[in-house]
Amino acid sequence: MPRIFYLLTLALCLMTGLSRARDFSVVTYNVENLFDADGISNYGEYVPSEYTPKHLLAKLQNIASILAKADPPHGPGDKPIASILSEKRLAPEFAGIPAEAWLLKACEEAGLKGYHVIITSEKSGDAYSGGRPRTVRNVIFSRFPVLATKSHHSATARHLLEARLDVDGRPLTIFANHWKSGASDPKSEAARISNAKDLRNRINEILRENPLADIIVAGDLNSHYNQNQRYPELKKTGVIDVLGTQGSEPALVSGKRDLYDLWFELPPKERRSDIYRYEWGTLMHLIVSRGLYDNSNLQYVDNSFRVLSFSGLNTDVFGRPLRWFRGARPGGFSDHFPIMAKFRTVDAESKDSWMALKNPSTTEQGDAEPLLLTTSAELFKNAIDPTKKPEIDYRDGSYEGRIFSIHAPAKVDNRGQITVSVNGQDFGVYAHNKKVFKRLRELAESTNQLHFYGALGTYKGQWQFVLYGNDWIASQPSSLNRKSSPFLRFAGL
């Protein structure tokens, strides 16, 4: 049986299949800036001097390795694309090949074959409202035959992509989304409300024709499953108040509600696909219609929803998504984890009966408080002291996300930004918490030295150490080795 594979670019959303007959899976994945390397870019980080075929190759191979975790290879791979993407510049004959085509090739090389590629239609000169060029788009990969596709224009986000697929003779409608960013921003919520209206109107059209139509909404909605409770200052939200997502399976089955957000399948402490500062988020979504709960056509596999985070592969030392980084040794994956759910075809057709539910979710709304990132003090035991091996270039990309023990000269510029000099190289120093950053700045100004633990990363192409709490600062070297607290809560002071 063919398998399904779904993809959304920038946010690359992927749908992939499993090996069991008549079963398939859906994966949605925001892969954080997948661009081709043809030398044309509207972003400074992706001009030829900063983004080479080597960077594209690392990005493609890393994405394919995650997809292979959800979709085991189905045969030997094709000719390696490393032979094509091994130079500093892309050969002229390969210029203009879009990112989704490169990804398709990388998937084939990894043994993931047989996908149809569906993309949003773009018009010449197409741009967002305000004139900013539209450089990314939603894409679907599917192993199932494609019956019809449609692009829905958006002035504030990537165009909504709709595809109608033939799953073993049963119709399935997929919507690939990437809504306006800024989940906590009241101003940008207006754009997400517009995105939600467009999607809701189209879903209503489908449900008027068939109230039990099988529909999956996937992608980065830049909204949390508990958006209205998490940000009570937002009087109206796109994802909950307009689109109508909720978490009660009985409400879905009874017909009281027609959409169900699969985040409610997990315990609250496991609901996390991305992180902003100290708080876990659920910007990625898989939302299913009521028709996927009846005993007809296609059906959601109860309690199959999960987050695809793999320790030692696409997570950093904190358990966060190991985001993409450039440099001499590019690597990383994305600032989002992919999410996945399983589905199946139904043999005994009965639209008047419903699937049996085990431990059904009965809460329509989620918890108000965000899940905070925590870490163990054990992390600091293996912190890197860069002065012990000064010959190493710690900015080559291979140390991204690692914890360092820094005792170095520091200075503060006229903008209040902090810099430390480590082995003759300058690194920025930053803390999201304003109180922690203020204390760092005061120490740097008064002593011209800083002693701290920091996680190495980049911001707008500049390398920096990031601190996640007061416990990351030490006034004396010996205090860094204390074992007073088994757990450090990043947001707490």
In tens, the pLDDT along 137-179 reads 888 998 889 999 999 988 888 899 999 999 999 999 999 999 9
pLDDT tens track for 252-291: 999 999 999 999 999 999 999 999 877 999 999 999 999 9
pLDDT tens track for 371-414: 888 766 677 888 999 999 999 999 887 888 889 999 999 999 99
The span from the CA of 479 to the CA of 477, in Å, is 6
pLDDT band (50, 70, 90) for residue 38: confident
Return the structure tokens found at 2: 């063919």
> Could you identify the residue written with the tokens 């999607």?
199
> Could you identify the residue written with the tokens 């996927």?
292
Residue 368 is assigned to a structural domain of this protein = no
First vs last C-alpha separation in the chain: 55
% of the chain at pLDDT higher than 70: 87
> Could you identify the residue written with the tokens 């019809």?
148
Helix (H) or strand (E) holding 374: strand 374-376
Same domain for 142 and 269, yes or no, is yes
Same domain for 62 and 209, yes or no, is yes
* pLDDT at res. 376: 65
* pLDDT at res. 475: 57
| CATH code: domain of residue 378 | 2.40.50
Domain count, the chain: 2
Span 170-190, average pLDDT: 94
Return the structure tokens found at 285: 């979504």
Residue 141 is assigned to a structural domain of this protein = yes
* pLDDT at res. 299: 96
Q: Is 483 exposed, middle or buried (0-12, 13-18, 19+ CB in 10 A)?
A: exposed
Same domain for 107 and 232, yes or no, is yes
pLDDT band (50, 70, 90) for residue 454: very high
Domain boundary among 354, 388, 412: 354
* pLDDT at res. 201: 97
- Residue 289, domain extent: 23-354
**Is the pLDDT reported for residue 481 higher than 60?**
no
The DSSP bridge pattern shows strands 339-345 and 23-28 to be antiparallel
Domain boundary among 320, 354, 388: 354
* pLDDT at res. 131: 60
pTM of the entire predicted model: 0.85
Phi, psi at residue 183, to the nearest 5°? -55, -35
Same domain for 215 and 183, yes or no, is yes
Residue 10 is assigned to a structural domain of this protein = no
User: Of residues 91 and 1, which shows the higher confidence score?
Assistant: 91
Alpha helices in 5-44 (DSSP H): none
pLDDT tens track for 194-230: 999 999 999 999 999 999 999 999 999 999 999 999 9
* pLDDT at res. 22: 77
Chain-wide mean pLDDT for the chain? 85
Cβ count within 10 A of residue 444:
19
| Separation in Å, CA 399 to CA 321, 332, 419, 428, 473 | 15, 11, 19, 15, 21
pLDDT band (50, 70, 90) for residue 91: confident
| Separation in Å, CA 382 to CA 319, 385, 389, 467, 475 | 16, 9, 15, 16, 20
Helix (H) or strand (E) holding 27: strand 23-28
Is-contact 257 251, C-beta < 8 A?
Answer: yes
| Separation in Å, CA 444 to CA 42, 226, 411 | 37, 40, 6
**C-alpha gyration radius of the chain:** 24
Same domain for 275 and 322, yes or no, is yes
* pLDDT at res. 443: 94
Residue 54 is assigned to a structural domain of this protein = yes
Return the structure tokens found at 406: 């820094």
pLDDT tens track for 285-336: 999 999 999 999 999 999 999 999 999 899 988 888 998 887 777 888 999 9
| CATH code: domain of residue 284 | 3.60.10.10
Amino acid letter for position 198 = D
Same domain for 263 and 398, yes or no, is no
Helix (H) or strand (E) holding 147: strand 146-152
Residue 361 is assigned to a structural domain of this protein = no
pLDDT band (50, 70, 90) for residue 339: very high
* pLDDT at res. 11: 39
pLDDT band (50, 70, 90) for residue 81: confident
Residue 293 is assigned to a structural domain of this protein = yes
Same domain for 271 and 382, yes or no, is no
Span 429-447, average pLDDT: 93
Same domain for 270 and 406, yes or no, is no
Same domain for 241 and 291, yes or no, is yes
Category of 8 on φ-ψ map: left (φ > 0), alpha (ψ -120 to 50) or beta: beta
Same domain for 331 and 291, yes or no, is yes
Same domain for 275 and 387, yes or no, is no
